[in-house]
Amino acid sequence: MNFNTLLDIGQKELARQKKYQRRIFCCTSTACLSAGAGQVHTTLDQAVAACKCDEYEAEVVKTGCMGLCSDGPLVRVEEQEKDPILYGNINPDLAQHIVSRHVPLGELEEDTDSEEQDQSVTPHDIIHYRASLRRAQTKKDLDNNIISLDLPFFTKQVKVVLNETGRINPDKLEDYLAHGGYKALAHVLDKMTPEEVCNEILESDLRGRGGAGFPTGLKWNYVRQESAENKFVIVNGDEGDPGAYMDRTVMEDDPHRVLEGMMICAYAVGASYGYLYIRGEYPIAVDRIRKAIRAARQRKILGNSVLEKNFSFDADVRIGAGAFVCGEETALIHSVEGKRGMPRMRPPYPSKSGLWDAPTVINNVETMANVPSIINKGAEWYASIGTEKSKGTKVFALAGQLRNTGLIEVPMGITLREIVYDIGGGIPGDREFKAAQTGGPSGGCIPAEYLDSPVDYESLTKLGSIMGSGGLVIIDDSTNMPDFANFFMDFCVDESCGKCIPCRVGTVQIRKLLDKINAGEGKPEDLEKLDKLCQLVKKTSLCGLGQSAPNPVLSTMKYFQNEYDSLIQPSQTFEGGAS
């Protein structure tokens, strides 16, 4: 199938969507599903069916994340020539109210019974529904559930990766095509050489969104220059940081975008097969990516001669089984090969010798999801967003002690203050902001005095934290920092793969010291010991897990020294005791 045929499919879908007077979008991302969105979606569907109005009066669309997860389940109504309305905290009851408020009731025909063949709704259900819809019309309490789209939570964001999430049905390839899907791939295959693609990405200054921030274009170029029969592309969806769910959301809600980015990468480096390595705890993401792969194969987007061009590529899913260390690229490769996910010494880097010793590109989900937009809008456009050294946007999973929590995408260089107080809406209750934790167990805590520093790779590293993959947890003054540091150390002890001694033994000893200090039994020299040990583990561990494991301890010791000091027993002196 060539791209013009796909374009037609997209246009047809767009025309079909435009026929509807109103479209009711229901978020079915993991967070909203946890809050009961499944039932809300069913109710919306049944209520609209029960209205018996003209076919094009309303359509219920199952979408991905709309961002404000703390107010889920979310429902957005877009009526023609009207501003969209977002409703939060919707339950099945309120879902009926939404339908009664927006969708007109049609005439109930006498002989409906005979026409109801394929419906899951019986005529009795319909009568029941219509009665409750009429009752709902008289109630006004839905107003309390309206969330203003003018809130800074929405207006301060810049959407690149999340542009279509919450707007399209992730299970429908046609919907992605209607929103310009696979246009970038077609353009690349048609008009650009692999070298040009690598250069375009290099010029955009896109850096790895997994945390380390290595320039993506450079990585691709290394692999492109390797002459090998087989090359591979791996998308790293093993998002193991507690408090981070950006990659899951992109895979769940816009799976074709990830596939498209992956295919552009494959073309640029000369790979013909790829794997999406997805965390086992993400069944919905696995399911939706698999569906996307099947749909893409059906339309001949994946397979031999992609879009009738001289390029073949296919992809498969590999499921991780719960090991944080598999986020490290060499460990991930071992896991894809069906082995224990342990890292190895680098060099050789995967770009030279990766999966089954073939040159391999490994990029994080979010990195790949940026690629189609860069191709479509140009490297210059992308590089115009962000700071001098960190370009583009970053998706964060905003969580913790905040009014608004959820998934946000912000331009690089935005200040922490803007994220916490404008987007996050500040700290609830009469509590005060204490620290922002970025980068999960590999990152650190940033205290209030640095609220005005920009969020980019360099600034965060300078503050002793890291950008990380995008977990951003805000903590208030009710949290005790030495205990918080211990929480992360607990995690690292559990997740250390055991291959190198500094990490395997060092993390355990750090935790022992922290336990001692937290129990109020620490001596002044223990703090010194703790610091030395942290430096040692940081400098001598084999992989990123060990090298960054002490960060939560070091950063809390640096900024909240007084909390550690207050737990320390003063050294015993001889005054008074001597006779």
Partner 1 sequence: MTIQNSNDEQTHPSGDERYSSIDRTMKQFEYEKDSLLEVLNAAQEVFGYLSRDLLIYISNQLNVPMSQVFGVATFYHMFTFEPQGEHNCIICKGTACHVKGADRIIEALSEEFSIAAGETTSDGLFSLTIARCLGSCGLAPVIVLDGQVYGKETPEAASMRAVEAVSRSKEKIAQSMEVG
CB of 66 to partner 1, least distance (A): 11
* Max Cα distance, the chain (Å): 107
CB of 479 to partner 1, least distance (A): 6
- State which residue, 58 or 397, has the beta carbon closest to partner 1: 397
CB of 29 to partner 1, least distance (A): 9
- State which residue, 64 or 400, has the beta carbon closest to partner 1: 400
Q: What angle do CA 344, 345, 349 make, to 5 degrees?
A: 95
Q: Is the dihedral of CA 279, 283, 287, 288 positive or negative?
A: negative
Helix (H) or strand (E) holding 472, with range, is: strand 471-476
- Are 246 and 469 a contacting pair, CB within 8 Å? yes
Report the SS3 class of residue 361: strand
- State which residue, 200 or 241, has the beta carbon closest to partner 1: 241
- The token pair that represents 124 in the structure block: 């009795």
**Dihedral angle, C-alpha 268, 384, 67, 442, nearest 10 °:** 70
CB of 237 to partner 1, least distance (A): 12
CB of 338 to partner 1, least distance (A): 4
Integer CA distances (angstroms), 100 to 26, 36, 104, 140, 149, in order = 16, 20, 7, 11, 22
Helix (H) or strand (E) holding 276, with range, is: strand 273-278
- The one-character DSSP state at 420 is I
- State which residue, 175 or 238, has the beta carbon closest to partner 1: 238
> Which chain residues interact with partner 1 by CB under 8 A?
30-31, 33-35, 68-70, 72, 239-245, 248, 280-282, 318-324, 335-342, 397, 399-401, 405-406, 437, 440, 471, 473, 475, 479, 484, 487-488, 491, 497
H-helix segments, 384-500:
416-417, 457-462, 481-495
- State which residue, 54 or 477, has the beta carbon closest to partner 1: 477
CB of 221 to partner 1, least distance (A): 29
CB of 146 to partner 1, least distance (A): 19
Integer CA distances (angstroms), 116 to 105, 120, 128, in order = 18, 9, 16
- State which residue, 240 or 261, has the beta carbon closest to partner 1: 240
- State which residue, 244 or 302, has the beta carbon closest to partner 1: 244
Integer CA distances (angstroms), 309 to 113, 177, 275, 473, in order = 52, 19, 22, 46
Closest CA to 339 of 352, 327, 321: 321
CB of 406 to partner 1, least distance (A): 5
CB of 33 to partner 1, least distance (A): 8
- State which residue, 282 or 311, has the beta carbon closest to partner 1: 282
- State which residue, 29 or 216, has the beta carbon closest to partner 1: 29
- State which residue, 350 or 386, has the beta carbon closest to partner 1: 350
Distance between CA 6 and CA 307 in Å, rounded?
9
CB of 387 to partner 1, least distance (A): 26
Distance between CA 239 and CA 279 in Å, rounded?
6
Integer CA distances (angstroms), 349 to 245, 330, 345, 354, 355, in order = 27, 8, 9, 7, 11
CB of 243 to partner 1, least distance (A): 4
- State which residue, 177 or 485, has the beta carbon closest to partner 1: 485
DSSP string over 166-218: TTS-TT-HHHHHHTTTTHHHHHHHHH--HHHHHHHHHHHT-B-TTTT--BHHH
Closest CA to 64 of 23, 20, 30, 98: 30
H-helix segments, 254-341:
255-269, 283-298, 329-336
CB of 552 to partner 1, least distance (A): 10
Closest CA to 424 of 441, 408, 413: 408
- State which residue, 47 or 399, has the beta carbon closest to partner 1: 399
